[in-house]
Amino acid sequence: MFDTLVGIAFSLAWLWLVCGIAYRVSVWLGARSRFLIPLAPAPRSRVGVLGRLFLEVFTFRSLARANRTTWLASLAFHYGLLWTLVMHLRFAYEVLPIFIVPFIRFGIWATLALVTGLVILLLRRLLIDRMRYISSPSDYLHLVLLLCIALSGVLIKRVWPTNLFEVGEFFRGTFVLNWMPLPDHAGLIIHLSLVLILLFVFPISKLVHGVGVVFSPTFNQRDRS
Amino acid sequence: MNADKHTPDPVVGRYRVIPILHEGAMAQTHTANATPAIQEASGLPGKLVADWHDRAIARLGELLKERRGLQVFMDTCTKCGACTDKCHYFLGTADPKNMPVARQDLIRSVYRRHFTLAGKLFPKLVGARDLDKPMLEDWYRYFHQCSECRRCTVFCPKGIDTSEVTMAGREILAAIGLGQQYSQEIIGKVNSVGNNLGMKKPALANVLESLEEDILDETGLAIRLPLDDATADMLVVTPSADFFAEPHVDGLIGMAKVLHAAGIHWTLSSEASEAANFALFTGQHDQMQAIALRISTAAQSLGVSRIVMGECGHAWRVAYSFMDTLVGGFDYLDPEHPRPEHICELSHELLQSGLITLDPSRNADKVVTFHDSCNVARGAGMGNIKGGQFTIPRALLRASVPQLVEMSSDTTHQKTFCCGGGGGLLTDDLMEVRVKGALPRAQALQAVVSSDKVTHLVAICAICKTQLSQVLPQHDLADVQVTSLHHLVGDALVL
């Protein structure tokens, strides 16, 4: 019964995530974009704009200009997270695909990068007076939530293992509304509950910046004069 | 240039000093509210309306739909702090509300309260706030301590442009009866007379005549400053400060010399005797359009085939980036010059094609540094090449003076610091903000004055010139001459 509820929650969470992001994007695209406000000097070609967006999205170029510590911590966190997400794709397959194997093999380094990045970002927010001034409770809680997800994940992977095959069955079920039982494992339930919170918060919080950055007119417009 | 000479870093730069927060440091600052007469002349309420809260929220809702940037910027800020030490007003005042993210949050917190699920349900958790009287006062105070220079945007990983937020804030304030006297009065004068000064045609004609006499005395040449000459090929639109203020007027004389030497048949217009467009600062798009329209109407009625903008930073941003959107295309212009051009672009072109000759030895007594104006550097471009707004003025300067010294690279080009007086802040009642906001520029200048004996600071913006000549003495830099670029070009010109 409980497992079914968790399964339904995840099915709803996927729907919420997709619809939430789609709604946010529709709000952005629905707003009128009348004036050309690219940050100059701006690329003069569309290819140039793609290049600019690529550098901003994948190298955090502007952040690199601003502050080296934040930049390195952000890179470590975001790439650690990306790596970890790829690792989690294993749960989508009944047979482990070969491309995920190296990600799992070196997964511990990704986790380390992710956690280190988060800890530095959290420490900055706590220790620097300017950061404290601009932070709301949610700004700390986002970091704490991610940190707890990472640590509970490490726990059920390395310290207190669970049945990964059953977890896979459960997740594949959530996409086709076939709610399967979960392994009886308290650590896993904690990990999954935290992930549910993250999925719920993502489209209605600042976490949508990952999608929003490409809609920023200062980045995505070109110099058309 | 002394490439091998060690240039010490200014305080801002490698050895950057970030002030410790001093809450409320600039909370006493208040620029005068527009009088009822001034407000009503622009169709705005004369004083704060009774239902200001609801009207402000409604206007914010409209702006979110009208300006995609604003909507995206409200949602994507992660409070990463990258911008917190980048604003000249924060560096100069230590007031935390002058950190760009904190300035944006004045609106973002209200946005969250009224337009987001999380802010409606859990305001305290997500930093959502009501728009109460103290918040409204903070809006007025701190949106008038931003020069909309976009330096923070350079460092923002989400590309958030605080100037868009400031403009929205000021637009809402004006719409509920709290316009700023300085900017709204100027907008009114442009609408009724044609320039920020309210200088009517006969007065303008007199000024130009007396300038022609000055040039005749100086050079022995009959160099003209034509007004409303319907036979002209080129309309020059320059900030009205060029007609009377020092050091601006020497720039206008320099421009006249260049145009004379190149044999260009040009004119000024009494209808469009102002390049500036203060409606950019106040975020009022309807007014910005009306002011821009004066230029294209004048160009068409005079029948010119080229429009050239004088040395004015935000006017150049409007002409370069917004004119097309505001007043439609330029099919009446020469297809070879299908959009407004910058005077630096024109002079550079004349120099390259050999139509004018510059002799830098005529400026041998000067050691010059160049201040990139924010709106030119980050709001526009120049000359159909990426980064032309940096290379073209410098190429002109190098041809005009023997020694050009660069200030610290953290304070020039795209990372240039605002002079401290832009964005509608060039008023006496904001003098404290202006002096403090000029600190980073003054520190960078001080460094090159010590290391290279710089004598002249060159700018291509009327606001920069007025602001810096007024505030540099307060930073012990009274000996540095603030100069128009075309003053030096004019002096180097072989006539």
State phi, psi for B347 to the nearest 5 degrees.
-60, -40
Summarize pLDDT for B458-492 with one digit per residue, the tens. 999 999 999 999 999 999 999 999 999 999 999 99
Report phi then psi at B380, rounded to 5. Answer: -150, -165
pLDDT given at position B133: 98
- Closest residue, chain B, to A75 (C-alpha): B157
Q: Where in the sequence is the domain holding A187, given as residue range(s)?
A: 2-220
Q: Determine the pLDDT at residue B3.
A: 37
What residue segments make up the domains of chain B, in order of their start? Answer: 36-179, 187-492
Chain A contact for B71 (CB, 8 A cutoff): yes
Which of B80, B104, B126, B345 is best to mutate for the A interface (most A CBs within 10 A)? B80
CB contact under 8 A, B158 and A212: yes
Confidence of residue B15 (pLDDT cuts 50, 70, 90): very low
Minimal Cα distance from A220: which residue of B?
B159
- Could you tell me the two tokens for B427? 């008023």
DSSP A29-42: HHS---S--PPSS-
In terms of Cβ atoms closer than 10 Å to its own Cβ (0-12, 13-18, 19+), residue B23 is: exposed
CA end-to-end span of chain A: 63
Q: Which of A27, A32, A66 sits opposite B82 (nearest CB)?
A: A66
Does B383 contact chain A (CB < 8 Å)? no
Give CA–CA dist B181/B38, Å, rounded.
Answer: 7
| Length of chain B, in residues | 495
Q: How far is the alpha carbon of A133 from chain B, nearest alpha carbon, in Å?
A: 8
Interstrand relation of B481-484 and B306-309 (parallel, antiparallel or unpaired): unpaired
Compare B42 and B145 and report the one with higher pLDDT. Answer: B145
The secondary structure element, H or E, covering residue B307 is: strand B306-309
Q: Does A197 touch chain B (CB under 8 A)?
A: no
Task: Measure in Å the smallest separation between the Cα of B442 and chain A Cα atoms.
Answer: 21
Radius of gyration for the alpha carbons in chain B, expressed in angstroms and rounded = 23
Between chains, do A62 and B85 touch, taking CB under 8 Å as contact? no
Q: Is B213 exposed, middle or buried (0-12, 13-18, 19+ CB in 10 A)?
A: exposed
Task: State the first-to-last Cα distance of chain B, in angstroms, to the nearest integer.
Answer: 27
CA distance, residue B284 to nearest chain A CA (Å): 13
Say what the pLDDT of residue B16 is.
56
Assess if residue A129 is contained within a domain.
yes
Distance, in Å, from the CA atom of B65 to the CA atom of B50, rounded to the nearest integer, reads 25
Using the beta-carbon criterion (under 8 Å), do A209 and B78 form an inter-chain contact? yes
B194 pLDDT band (50/70/90 cuts)?
A: confident
- The shares of helix, strand and coil residues in chain B, as percent rounded to the nearest 5, are 55, 5, 40
A71 lies in some domain: yes
Considering CB atoms only, which of A33, A41, A136 is closest to B381?
A41
Q: What is the per-residue pLDDT across B43-101, written as a single tens digit (0 to 9) for each? A: 999 999 999 999 999 999 999 999 999 999 999 999 999 999 999 999 999 999 999 99
In degrees, rounded to 5, the angle at the alpha carbon of residue B88 between the alpha carbons of residues B435 and B310 is 80
CA distance B164 to B265: 39
One-letter amino acid of B239: P
Q: Supply B314's token pair.
A: 């935000």
Tokens, residue B401:
């003076």
Contact A74 B80 (CB under 8 A): yes
What tokens were used for B460?
């291509």
Please state, as a whole number, how many other Cβ atoms lie within 10 Å of the Cβ of residue B361: 8
As given in the structure block, the two tokens for residue B332 are 């009446």
H-run or E-run covering A4: helix A2-30
CA A31/CA B68 separation, integer angstroms: 5
Of B63 and B12, more confident: B63
B157–A56 CB contact, under 8 Å: yes
CA distance B254 to A99: 68
Judged by DSSP in three states, B134 sits in: helix
Q: Please give the torsion angle defined by the CA atoms of residues B396, B397, B403 and B405, in that order, rounded to the nearest 10 degrees.
A: -120
Judged by CB atoms closer than 8 Å, whether chains meet at A40 and B377 is answered as yes
Q: Which residues of B224-235 are buried (b: 16+ CB within 10 A; e: fewer)?
A: bbbbbbeebebb
Q: Is the dihedral of CA B421, B424, B427, B429 positive or negative?
A: negative
* Owner of token pair 């009205």: B240
DSSP state of B413: G
For residue B18 the two structure tokens come to 């970030």
Residue B387 has its nearest CB partner, among A34, A41, A70, at A41
CA dist B323 and B313 (Å) reads: 14
Element (H, E) at A124: helix A107-127
Task: Give B235-276 pLDDT, tens digit per residue.
Answer: 999 999 999 999 999 999 999 999 999 999 999 999 999 999
Print the SS3 string covering B326-341.
HHCCCCCCCCCCCCCE
Mean pLDDT of chain B: 95
Between chains, do A215 and B68 touch, taking CB under 8 Å as contact?
yes
> What total of structural domains would you count in chain A?
1
- The answer to whether residue A120 neighbours chain B at the CB level (below 8 Å) is no
Contact A65 B156 (CB under 8 A): no
* C-alpha B464: how far from chain center: 7
Q: CB B219: neighbour CB atoms within 10 A?
A: 15
Take residue B410 and report the two structure tokens written for it: 């953290």
The two structure tokens encoding residue A6: 């968790």
Residue A125 is classified by DSSP as H
Query: Distance between CA B488 and CA B495 in Å, rounded?
Result: 14
Within 315-334 of B, beta carbons closer than 8 Å to A belong to: 320-322, 324-325
The CA distance from B120 to B181, in Å, is 35
Q: Which residue has the tokens 């605002």?
A: B418
Cis bond leading into A102, ω under 30°?
no
B1: pLDDT confidence band, cut at 50, 70 and 90? very low
Q: Check B158 against A66: CB less than 8 A apart.
A: no
Of B326, B383, B161, B78, nearest to A39 by C-alpha is B161
Residue with tokens 């010119």: B304
Alpha-carbon distance values, A163 to A156, A183, A185, A187 (Å): 9, 6, 9, 12
Q: Length of chain A in residues, anyone? A: 225
Is the residue at A120 inside a domain? yes
pLDDT of residue B17: 79
Any idea which residue has 């459960």 for tokens?
Answer: A170
Going residue by residue through chain A, which has 225 residues, state the pLDDT in tens, using 9 for 90 and above.
899 999 999 999 999 999 999 999 999 999 999 999 999 999 999 999 999 999 999 999 999 999 999 999 999 999 999 999 999 999 999 999 999 999 999 999 999 999 999 999 999 999 999 999 999 999 999 999 999 999 999 999 989 999 999 999 999 999 999 999 999 999 999 999 999 999 999 999 999 999 999 999 999 999 988
Judge whether A225 lies within some domain. Answer: no
**Which H or E run contains B384?**
none
Phi and psi at residue B327, to the nearest 5°: -125, 20
Distance in angstroms (rounded) separating the CA atoms of residues B91 and B438: 9
Residues of A in contact with B378 (CB under 8 A): 39-40
Is the Cβ–Cβ distance between B236 and B343 less than 8 Å? Answer: yes
List, as ranges, residues 101-160 from B with C-beta within 8 Å of A: 101-102, 105, 116-118, 124-127, 150, 153-160
Tell me, what amino acid is at B129? R
Please say whether the beta carbons of B233 and B306 come within 8 A: yes
By CA distance, what is A210's nearest residue in B? B76
Cross-chain residue pair A206–B71, CB shorter than 8 Å: no
**Could you tell me how far CA A193 lies from the centroid of its own chain?**
16
Q: Residues of A with CB below 8 A from B324's CB? A: 224-225
Left if phi > 0, otherwise alpha if psi is -120 to 50, otherwise beta: which for B424? left
Q: CA-to-CA distance for B222 and B275, rounded, in angstroms?
A: 26
CATH number of the domain at A73, please: 1.20.950.20
Q: Compute the half-sphere exposure of residue B471: CA atoms within 13 Å on the CB side of its CA.
A: 29
pLDDT band at B329 (very low <50, low <70, confident <90, very high): confident
Position B80 scores a pLDDT of 97
Asked if B76 and A31 come within 8 Å (Cβ–Cβ), the reply is no
Q: In B329-430, which ranges are continuous DSSP H helix? A: 343-352, 374-379, 388-400
The residue-averaged pLDDT of B100-114 equals: 98
Q: What is the mean pLDDT of residues B134-144?
A: 98
Show the tokens assigned to A131: 């950061």
Cβ <8 Å between A43 and B71: no
Max Cα-Cα span within chain A: 64
- Please check the confidence at residue B10 and state whether its pLDDT lies above 70: no
Closest partner CB to A129 (pick from B20, B150, B377): B20
Q: Is the pLDDT of residue B6 over 80?
A: no
DSSP lists the bridge partners of residue B180 as: B33
